[in-house]
Chain A
Amino acid sequence: MIPSIPQPTALRAAYVAYIAVFFTFLALPLVVVAVFAFNDSQFPSLPWEGFTWGWFFGSERPMIGVFHERGILRAIGTSAFVAVGVSLLAVAVGLSNAFLFNRYRFRGQGILYIFMLLPLVVPGIVLGISILVFSSRVANGLWDIAEWDVEALRPGLTLVILGQFSFIATIATLVIAARLQKFDRSLEEAAMNLGAGRLVAVRTVTLPYLTPALIGAFVVAFLMSFENFNTTLMLVGSDAPLTIAMFDRLKEGSTPLLNAVSLLLMLGSSLLALVMIAFQRKA
């Protein structure tokens, strides 16, 4: 069916109703999480005990709000640290990869491209355990050979960053390569005709053109890292990022504190997404 071909009214109404039901289904869990962040009760469930800001700003037991809960605040900090690290690495490597596939033709390029895509089809938990197994083998080897204890190779934040980077790099590469593909190379040649060296031409002409994609890739990488669970779960040490910290609490039973954190997460990621869209529009 298509608007230019008339259809029975009943059929169209049913279709629109289906779409409405779908979007209700999509919104329902998020709305529920948000609403119960304001419930003046120890449990995020009915009955409704009245409206409160306590789960955000409360400072006394039994209602300690997000902004006074050390554990959660520290976990948010850890997550942000990991996410920035992953995003920086992923954008840098992604940029390099995009140039590699766009500007050079070499033997084995096709195979390399397939390898580059593989991390997307490996389950996250398998990525996690394979990196865990390999890094501990290296760590044990270094200890046996030189009595050299490399803390970074034991479960902890370094491994979490590397583990998340291992598949987010693919996504960053795809985002940046898509924009580089659209770039008109004669602009670069013009810059070189005007006397710029190759690197100067890339820096002053190509990179500014790529900026929206670089920012886009950074934001996507940041969000993916922030909400990653599977890979992180296998590599995490004593400092837990937010998703792991929340998971541990959820297993013990939930209070509306978790709803408040979730609501803040929703607001934060929507804001980031809007910033990204605004940037893309301007480009």
Chain B
Amino acid sequence: MKNGARIGLALLLMPMLLWLSLLIVIPHIDMFLVSLRERVGVGEYQISFANYLTFFQEPLYLWTFLRTAVMSILATIITLLIAFPVSYFIAKIARGRTRSALFLLCLVPFWVSELVRTFGWMILLRETGILSNLLQWAGLVSGPVEMLYNDAAIMVGLVYTSMLFMVVPLVTTLESLPDEVIEAGYDLGGTNTSVMREIVIPHAAPGIVSGSIVVFMLSLGNYLTPTMLGGKDSLWFTELIYSQFIVRFNWELGAAFGFMLLLLSSLIVWGMLRLTGQTLERTMG
């Protein structure tokens, strides 16, 4: 390498290394170190796994953790099931103007803040809300119904908020599948289901994986939707982290919780990549 190129490389490396080391790598190591601290006196600490023991021994913490994981997986599956037919329609059935219009319409809700979207669902679902009034008007129920503050409401919010991150990768991969290949499938005697199963879904696999990873991550790390739609007892793991850090000021336990969340999300992302033979570079980059 020539000298000039070497200097250029060093200059371009600098911002990236500063960013990744000071804002990503070192803070995470530090968070892990803090999670290993146990307070034994005023300003006195020792290294121990006490915080992790607390996590595993307190049923509420463990239960919330597992519940958050299961609900996030469920939200991912539901989002995929709803988004796939829509993406297929946009990529393969709609043509020209309609296609770009539909695709754009899918993006619109996500240009506005998650807070606004969640607020919209609150207006729809609450006791004095639109759906409750609609049901009463239709005579299906006799009094106001509260549809907010339960798991179904959280699920609706999570699925709604994540939709875009599933639709975009799916449309992109499905668009790259030539129509001729699908036609060939039918010419060779395939039915709707067999063409779908043997041609379309395998081709869309990278899109399905990257969409699912992002949706799962966003659900797992979501704070706003479970808090606002699930109410006080929504038991979402991020709420525990928030309360340890901001309300109880127990940073050691909070850091341990944060690390568990990071571990869980990394494990599931890694597992999904391994299972489908994809790499992070290909699904994200």
Please measure, in the bound complex, the distance between the C-alpha atom of A46 and the C-alpha atom of B130, giving whole angstroms: 7
- Evaluate contact between A100 and B9: CB separation under 8 angstroms: yes
Partner-binding segment picked from B46-54, B58-66, B201-209, B254-262? B254-262
Please measure, in the bound complex, the distance between the C-alpha atom of A211 and the C-alpha atom of B121, giving whole angstroms: 38
B70 near A: Cβ within 8 Å?
A: no
- Evaluate contact between B30 and A169: CB separation under 8 angstroms: no
B141 near A: Cβ within 8 Å?
A: no
- Evaluate contact between B221 and A270: CB separation under 8 angstroms: no
User: With A2-B93, A2-B179, A166-B19 in contact, is A129–B245 under 8 Å at CB?
Assistant: yes
A28 near B: Cβ within 8 Å?
A: yes
A81 near B: Cβ within 8 Å?
A: no
CB-CB under 8 A from A234, the residues of chain B are: 242, 245-246
Please measure, in the bound complex, the distance between the C-alpha atom of A28 and the C-alpha atom of B116, giving whole angstroms: 12
Which A66-111 residues have a C-beta within 8 angstroms of B?
92-93, 96-97, 99-100, 103-104, 106, 110
A15 near B: Cβ within 8 Å?
A: yes
B86 near A: Cβ within 8 Å?
A: yes
Please measure, in the bound complex, the distance between the C-alpha atom of A45 and the C-alpha atom of B117, giving whole angstroms: 16
B115 near A: Cβ within 8 Å?
A: yes
- Evaluate contact between A96 and B12: CB separation under 8 angstroms: yes
CB-CB under 8 A from B106, the residues of chain A are: 26
Q: What string of 1s and 0s marks CB contacts (under 8 Å) between A28-41 and chain B? A: 11101100100000
Query: Of residues A29, A122, A223, A269, which shows the largest number of chain B Cβ atoms within 10 Å of its Cβ?
Result: A29
A229 near B: Cβ within 8 Å?
A: yes
Partner-binding segment picked from A54-62, A112-120, A182-190? A112-120
A262 near B: Cβ within 8 Å?
A: yes
Please measure, in the bound complex, the distance between the C-alpha atom of A117 and the C-alpha atom of B282, giving whole angstroms: 11
- Evaluate contact between A265 and B86: CB separation under 8 angstroms: no
- Evaluate contact between B89 and A45: CB separation under 8 angstroms: no
- Evaluate contact between A29 and B113: CB separation under 8 angstroms: no
B38 CB → nearest A CB, Å: 16
Report which of A25, A36, A169, A266 forms a contact with B123, defined as CB distance below 8 A.
A36
- Evaluate contact between B220 and A262: CB separation under 8 angstroms: no
- Evaluate contact between A45 and B123: CB separation under 8 angstroms: yes
- Evaluate contact between A121 and B15: CB separation under 8 angstroms: no
A69 CB → nearest B CB, Å: 17
- Evaluate contact between B221 and A123: CB separation under 8 angstroms: yes
Q: What string of 1s and 0s marks CB contacts (under 8 Å) between B236-260 and chain A? A: 0010011001100001001100100
Report which of A28, A104, A124, A129 forms a contact with B124, defined as CB distance below 8 A.
A28
- Evaluate contact between A116 and B82: CB separation under 8 angstroms: no
Please measure, in the bound complex, the distance between the C-alpha atom of A166 and the C-alpha atom of B27, giving whole angstroms: 11
User: With A114-B281, A121-B266 in contact, is A227–B123 under 8 Å at CB?
Assistant: no
Which B73-131 residues have a C-beta within 8 angstroms of A?
82, 85-86, 89, 92-93, 95, 102, 105-109, 111-117, 119-124, 126, 128-130
- Evaluate contact between A121 and B92: CB separation under 8 angstroms: no
- Evaluate contact between A129 and B223: CB separation under 8 angstroms: no
B270 nearest CB neighbor, chain A only: A121
CB-CB under 8 A from A165, the residues of chain B are: 19, 23
B285 near A: Cβ within 8 Å?
A: yes
B46 CB → nearest A CB, Å: 17
| Overall SS of chain B's interface | helix
B40 CB → nearest A CB, Å: 19
B159 nearest CB neighbor, chain A only: A25
- Evaluate contact between B16 and A266: CB separation under 8 angstroms: no
- Evaluate contact between B27 and A247: CB separation under 8 angstroms: no
Please measure, in the bound complex, the distance between the C-alpha atom of A245 and the C-alpha atom of B35, giving whole angstroms: 30
B168 near A: Cβ within 8 Å?
A: no
B71 near A: Cβ within 8 Å?
A: no
Report which of B124, B128, B284 forms a contact with A29, defined as CB distance below 8 A.
B124
- Evaluate contact between B217 and A33: CB separation under 8 angstroms: no
- Evaluate contact between B111 and A269: CB separation under 8 angstroms: yes
Please measure, in the bound complex, the distance between the C-alpha atom of A30 and the C-alpha atom of B281, giving whole angstroms: 35
Please measure, in the bound complex, the distance between the C-alpha atom of A127 and the C-alpha atom of B82, giving whole angstroms: 30
- Evaluate contact between A29 and B117: CB separation under 8 angstroms: yes
- Evaluate contact between A96 and B117: CB separation under 8 angstroms: no
A221 near B: Cβ within 8 Å?
A: no
- Evaluate contact between B16 and A227: CB separation under 8 angstroms: no
User: With A26-B109, A123-B261, A227-B112 in contact, is A19–B221 under 8 Å at CB?
Assistant: no
B residues at A contact (CB < 8 Å): 4-5, 8-9, 11-13, 15-16, 19-20, 23-28, 30-31, 34, 82, 85-86, 89, 92-93, 95, 102, 105-109, 111-117, 119-124, 126, 128-130, 133, 160, 163, 179, 182-183, 186, 192, 213-214, 217, 220-224, 228, 238, 241-242, 245-246, 251, 254-255, 258, 261-262, 265-266, 269, 280-281, 284-285
A-B contact pairs, 11 of them (CB 8 A): A5-B183, A7-B192, A19-B102, A26-B105, A45-B123, A104-B5, A110-B281, A121-B280, A135-B27, A229-B114, A265-B112
**Closest 3 A/B residue pairs (Cβ):** A29-B120, A123-B221, A227-B113
